[in-house]
Amino acid sequence: MRAVDIIMKKRGFRATGAGTLSRDEISFLVNGYVDGTIPDYQMSAWLMAVYFNGMSFEETAILTDVMLHSGVVMDLSGIEGPFVDKHSTGGVGDKLSLPLAPIVAACGVKVPMMSGRALGHTGGTLDKLEAITGYKTGLTVEQFRNYISKTGFAMTGQTKEIVPADRLIYALRDVTATVESVPLITASILSKKVAEGAEALVFDVKCGSGAFMKTLAEAEALAKSLVGTGTAMGKKVIALITNMSEPFGTMVGNFLEMEETYNVLKGEGPKDVTDLTLQLAGWMLVLGRKASSKEEGMQKAQEAVQSGKALELFLENITLQGGDAKQFVSECGKRRSPYTCQIKAAQGGFIAAMDAYQIGIAGVHLGVGRNKTTDAVCPDAGMIVHKHTGDSVKKGDVIMDVYGKDSACLSAASEIIQSAVRYADTAPQGQPLVFKEIGAEALAPQHSGSAS
């Protein structure tokens, strides 16, 4: 078997399906790249062929499985399930994983959660968790198992031993303009999620200015690929396409989003975060066989918040993973960077739009996120949003409190935020929180191509 023949076969793909690759061919290419026998230039050529010609759900499932077994797979045997996880494609102020895990765990479903860090304009769950003093996200497999057994969920990062194929291939995609490929995105996401031990998955596919998928068509293509591929791998999967046209919730930043998580678990969170958390929880409980409908699952999730059980598990997890829960609670409402300024309304009327992408970029300037993986983040940087799209304002009203890593960053960030806010004389038409829900029954046989 030769790499060049596999590249030619995928390059020559047409609607007939003649370029469909076998498991042996995909395994040869991926495993060869991991062990160094396939060079960068041949893998790059194959990635570009996939970018343009796509892969079937079955091919993508094989690619995912091969990547999954390129390294260590979490062994959760001996722990009573079910195991269900949620994954978001990323956004600005998207802290849903943080309240969701303890809520679902409080309802009897185990949540093995492997998360990532901030890069670009989107925040990272691990950076938010590590804003809590002492909290450790670099768990061993034994710690991961132990914490799931005790509280029903655990939060960890990807190690070098877990899905090394994804780490290597993603780095190559990043420099070969092949990131926005639906099957490659799908395999990257699913390989990590299955490696952590999840039996069923709920995907939150973000759509809008602050998402990687800007249009509904792009988001729907990815959602269908995730559901179709996950189903082909024998997993129960559902995807929600959700709105990411403005910052989510009222707080953006690492510690700030942990604080908003605490508020949600007390039953005092902002409506959009609370509503979507409950919807995702409802579906996770359906897939975990703890509810017969999303509505029943949402009711059980709401009861887990009202009873205080979800908050109790959240604080217990903080302690288990090395954090100081009492200090965290005492800092909520108080811990802010001393470098601060306010964004005020430039004119009266209504907020017509708040470009989430630009506000996310402003967050990078402030120290919330990273331009490259080696950058440090500032746990106390971020934004508190007082006015949202559709709100009426008078000139000079405070729209946002801004907190930076130092005084120098405030000017550049403020200028970006000001330009991201648009005004109108009349209130804009409202948008739904959830655009679509996609399950396996909604899928027709198809190939998935690039996301562009």
Distance CA 446, CA 20 (A): 12
* 358, 120 contact by CB (below 8 A): no
Which candidate in 97, 115, 181, 188 is catalytic? 188
- Which residue type is seen at 352? A
Which candidate in 10, 117, 121, 192 is catalytic? 192
Instruction: Give the burial class of 173: count Cβ atoms within 10 A of its Cβ; 0-12 exposed, 13-18 middle, 19 or more buried.
Output: buried
* 134, 323 contact by CB (below 8 A): yes
Which candidate in 86, 95, 110, 173 is catalytic? 173
Report cis status (omega within 30 of 0) of the bond before 379.
Answer: no
* 307, 300 contact by CB (below 8 A): no
Q: Which two tokens stand for residue 423?
A: 């005004």
Distance CA 240, CA 393 (A): 32
Instruction: Give the burial class of 245: count Cβ atoms within 10 A of its Cβ; 0-12 exposed, 13-18 middle, 19 or more buried.
Output: buried
Which candidate in 166, 204, 272, 380 is catalytic? 166
Which phi and psi (to 5°) does residue 28 adopt?
-60, -45
* 161, 196 contact by CB (below 8 A): no
CA 441 to chain centre: 24
Q: Which two tokens stand for residue 219?
A: 């988001």
Q: Which two tokens stand for residue 450?
A: 């690039």
Distance CA 115, CA 32 (A): 27
- Which residue type is seen at 59? E
Distance CA 220, CA 216 (A): 6
Question: Active-site residue 40, yes or no?
Answer: no
Question: Active-site residue 406, yes or no?
Answer: no
Distance CA 231, CA 61 (A): 9
Number of other residues whose CB lies within 10 A of the CB of residue 227: 26
H runs (alpha helix) in 69-176: 97-106, 125-129, 141-151, 164-174
Write the CB contacts of 279 (distance below 8 Å, at least 6 apart in sequence): 240, 294, 298, 434
Write the CB contacts of 14 (distance below 8 Å, at least 6 apart in sequence): none
Question: Active-site residue 336, yes or no?
Answer: no
Question: Active-site residue 87, yes or no?
Answer: yes
Question: Active-site residue 188, yes or no?
Answer: yes
Which candidate in 10, 86, 87, 336 is catalytic? 87
Which residue is listed with tokens 């959602």?
223
* SS3 call for 444: coil
Q: Which positions are catalytic?
A: 87, 166, 173, 188, 192
